[in-house]
Amino acid sequence: MKHLISARGLEAAPTVAILDTTMDMVDVRTREVKKLPTLRGKTVANVFFEDSTRTRLSFEAAALALSADVTTFTTQGSSVSKGESLKDTLQTLEAMGADFIVLRHPHSGVASTVVNSGWVDAHIINAGDGTHEHPTQALLDAFTMRSRLRGENARGSDLAGISVVIVGDIFHSRVARSNALLLRTLGATVTLAAPQTLLPREIDSWGAAVVSTLDEAIDLQPDVVMTLRVQKERMTSGFFPSESEFAQLWGMNDSRLRRLPPTSIVMHPGPMNRGLEISGSVADSPQSTVTEQVANGVAVRMAVLYTLMGDSR
Amino acid sequence: MTILIRGAAVLGGKAADILIDGDTIREVGSTTAAADRVIEAHGLVALPGLVDLHSHLREPGDEGSETILSGSRAAAAGGFTTVHAMANTSPVADTAELVELVAERGMHAGYVQVRPIGAVTRNLDGAQLADIGGMAHSSAAVTVFSDDGRCVGDALLMRRALEYVSTFGGVIAQHAQDPRLTIDAVVNEGRVSSELGLRGWPSVAEESIIARDVLLAEYVGARLHVCHISTAGSVDVIRWAKKRGIAVTAEVTPHHLLLTDERALTYDPVFKVNPPLRTADDIQQLRLAVADGTIDIVATDHAPHASSTKDCTWHDASFGMVGLESALSVVQHTLVDTGHITWPDVARILSVVPAAIGRVDGYGAPLAVGSRANITLVDPAHTANWDTSRLHGRSTNSPFIGTVLPGRVVSTIFNGTETVVDGSLVEPELVRNA
């Protein structure tokens, strides 16, 4: 594997291997010397055309923990979001010595285009492209599920038999798309819960069941409820009538948490709208994995960089 | 100047000789007459010169991607002798002066007859009618009006446009796309858009506008032409309208007859086009609709774009594909070789009927004695991998590069002048001085 663009192309065995490597990286991070020399002399360029402080910091921490040099390029201006400038920007960064390009972009498909176009030779890691995919998020979510639900038996295992509900704005969510694909690859069963306005059309190929409300999904007694951030602009553009109605029908709250098995977990990729898709008390409950996901994010990204490093074709 | 074409299969039928004298077909059959020039055409199919109702020649304003001359050459190479140039140039073709300029430059280039299409609304802004009467009465004698690239979305404005254009015997060519239903839309809405996370262009956004427009056309008693229909549902609406006696005609592009939205799966912007590529079922219904006459014509929607607007991300890329050179090959591949239609039908959908819709003289009796000498000779047995050497415009955004397609235009004759000889374009000076 030279690039990580999409969860779609990932097969089960290499994915489990990345999750196992992530366990090793977690160990590294608990040692007194929290660094590996793997990427010494290599440069990781974080190229963010869309603001995301937490994802950028997570990749930076991962690269530094592997002893890489880190360059960061961030912009939100439209003048540099045009394609030709993207090509120029990436070629410039590569000319400055970037071996890995971690790319976040507001438009779907940009990471694929960069790989297919042959503009650069560097390893490309998709750190979120529009409403398409966010594969490292799906990996860290899978890792979090596996750790919590498999415990000591985690190493080497996939997610067979685990049932996951993904609830909320599926339509605009690259997290939901990457998760649905990766979870299926790992053998989990996925159920989506959302209003029709927030479900993409013809998603049979995702291999997920669909229910209307979160209550129907809770009735399935899932092992995992994954909530998604509702973007501010969706709240005023007619996808649902009001925030309160959304919270009522698709928000994860205390009464719904009580109806779940005590071993079930509640996830959120952050940043949260407390009181909308997830209530504050659920977010802070022991069943919530929100901060764990953030911590695992660094280890997963270390594992991804480590894995891609092994393929320098 | 006399030209004798020997042994061509006239409209795919019996082999015959065609004698051209000046700009007129003098004899069709078996002739012993001598001629200044003889074209051996055994094994070739003789068609009337092709007529495209929908091209973007980009001049004035975007001469980097195409000019009237380069687009005319691409057209001749594809077997065309008349093309209609869409109005969305810069400045927009919304005045008599502009359409006269386009027509004159076309005449000067000399490869094909360039018929300007006038804008429906001033500057394509969808607010106020353009100088329709002025363009109709200009020396360019515009008969087709279109805001193509944009839909005349406002129902009241569309009603007025249909009524006003009919005053001059013209026709509105509508780009059917509900603007509100297609905000930011860049790919067909369905399985592929959901997989790619790209904003979908739903079929209903086309079908609902066509349904509205055929009812408006019926109500005001005007002619309506629908550009590039792309969905099975649009076929149903057109079929219903025709059955009801509404004066509607419809076109389909070659690419919508062959390519599905699956081509977008790699985010290769060469496949970004408006309306978007649809599904295999849509393609099947579009082919059947050409066969049964529901769809009247094939038109190219030739849309050249400079490489910088295609060597980029899907989002940033321009919509459109070049298509003049490949149109006849795609029609042969998708409609003739599949048995849906025969060569006389090709003459109908690519020459006779588009000329009739655009009120272009000289195409009413294809290859008949006394007709204007607009002739295309095609070798249907030729098969080749399509590559950029087949393109003659300024842009190379063809979705067919790398595809094996049948058919090759061997000869094009425009008003008695050869513009393509043995598959090669004649040099501009020779065409111009003819």
Residue corresponding to tokens 């297919």: A116
pLDDT tens, A160-208? 999 999 999 999 999 999 999 999 999 999 999 999 999 999 988 888 9
φ/ψ (deg, to 5) at B120? -80, -45
Q: Tell me if residue B147 is catalytic.
A: no
B162 and B227 part of one domain: yes
Domain A12-133+294-309 coded CATH 3.40.50.1370: yes
Using the predicted structure, report yes or no on whether residue A224 has a pLDDT greater than 90: yes
Q: In what order do the strands lie in the sheet with A163-167?
A: A209-211, A189-193, A163-167, A224-227, A265-267
pLDDT tens, B231-254? 999 999 999 999 999 999 999 999
pLDDT of residue A233: 77
B277 and B385 part of one domain: no
pLDDT of residue B22: 96
* Candidate from B196, B200, B308 with C-beta closest to A109: B196
Strands (E), B158-231: 171-174, 187-188, 200-201, 224-226
Contact across the interface for A109 and B194, Cβ inside 8 Å = no
pLDDT of residue A235: 77
Is B124 domain-assigned? yes
Give the A-side interface with B, CB within 8 Å.
Answer: 8, 81-84, 86-87, 105, 107-110, 112-113, 116-117, 129-133, 174, 177, 200-206
A207 is written with which tokens? Answer: 């291999």
pLDDT of residue A80: 53
Q: What is the mean predicted confidence (pLDDT) over A91-109?
A: 94
Contact across the interface for A108 and B268, Cβ inside 8 Å = no
CATH number of the domain encompassing residue B19: 2.30.40.10
B275 and B249 part of one domain: yes
Alpha helices in B54-174 (DSSP H): 68-77, 96-109, 132-136, 155-167
Using the predicted structure, report yes or no on whether residue A76 has a pLDDT greater than 80: no
Alpha helices in A66-158 (DSSP H): 83-95, 110-117, 135-150
Angle between helix A12-30 and helix A135-150 axes, rounded to 10 deg: 70
Nearest CA in chain B to A87: B312
Per domain, the residue ranges of chain A are: 12-133+294-309, 135-289
Residues facing residue B28 across a β-bridge: B18
pLDDT of residue B138: 98
Contact across the interface for B194 and A200, Cβ inside 8 Å = yes
Is B363 domain-assigned? no
Q: How confident is the model at residue A78 (pLDDT cuts 50, 70, 90)?
A: very low
B414 and B297 part of one domain: no
Task: Label residue A219 exposed, middle or buried (CB < 10 Å: 0-12, 13-18, 19+).
Answer: exposed
pLDDT of residue B379: 98
> Is 0.90 exceeded by the ipTM?
yes
Q: Residue B36 in 3-state DSSP?
A: coil
Is B366 domain-assigned? no
B10 and B54 part of one domain: no
Residue B245 has a CB neighbour count (10 Å cut-off) of 8
Is B362 domain-assigned? no
Using the predicted structure, report yes or no on whether residue A128 has a pLDDT greater than 90: yes
Contact across the interface for B197 and A131, Cβ inside 8 Å = yes
Is B364 domain-assigned? no
Cβ-based contacts of B313 with chain A (< 8 Å): 83, 86, 105, 107, 109-110, 113
B37 and B184 part of one domain: no
B60 and B151 part of one domain: yes
CB B179 within 8 A of CB B206: no
pLDDT tens, A250-263? 999 999 999 999 99
B99 and B230 part of one domain: yes
Residue corresponding to tokens 């553009």: A237
Q: How confident is the model at residue A84 (pLDDT cuts 50, 70, 90)?
A: low
Range of the domain at B204: 46-357
Distance of CA A96 to the CA centre of its chain: 28
Cβ-based contacts of A177 with chain B (< 8 Å): 197
B338 is written with which tokens? Answer: 């599949």
pLDDT of residue B229: 98
CB B123 within 8 A of CB B92: yes
B101 and B176 part of one domain: yes
* Candidate from B196, B269, B316 with C-beta closest to A82: B316
CB B225 within 8 A of CB B251: yes
Using the predicted structure, report yes or no on whether residue A212 has a pLDDT greater than 50: yes
The single-letter code of the amino acid at A69 is D
pLDDT along chain B (434 residues), means of 10: 97 97 95 92 98 98 97 98 98 98 97 98 97 98 98 98 96 98 97 96 98 98 98 98 98 98 96 98 98 98 94 93 98 98 98 98 97 98 96 97 97 98 95 79
CATH number of the domain encompassing residue B133: 3.20.20.140
CA-based max dimension of chain B? 66
φ/ψ (deg, to 5) at B264? -75, -10
Strands (E), B287-399: 297-298, 375-385
Average pLDDT, chain A: 93
Closest CA to A188 of A204, A170, A207: A207
pLDDT of residue A4: 98
* Candidate from A83, A174, A177 with C-beta closest to B313: A83
Domain A135-289 coded CATH 3.40.50.1370: yes
Residue B221 has a CB neighbour count (10 Å cut-off) of 11
B353 and B423 part of one domain: no
B310 is written with which tokens? Answer: 């295609």
pLDDT of residue B253: 98
B169 and B50 part of one domain: yes
- Looking at B308, B326, B357, which one is the last position of a domain? B357
CB A164 within 8 A of CB A189: yes
CATH topology agreement for domains A12-133+294-309 and A135-289: yes
Which of B301, B316, B361, B422 is catalytic? The answer is B301
Predicted TM-score (pTM) above 0.90: yes
Domain count, chain B: 2
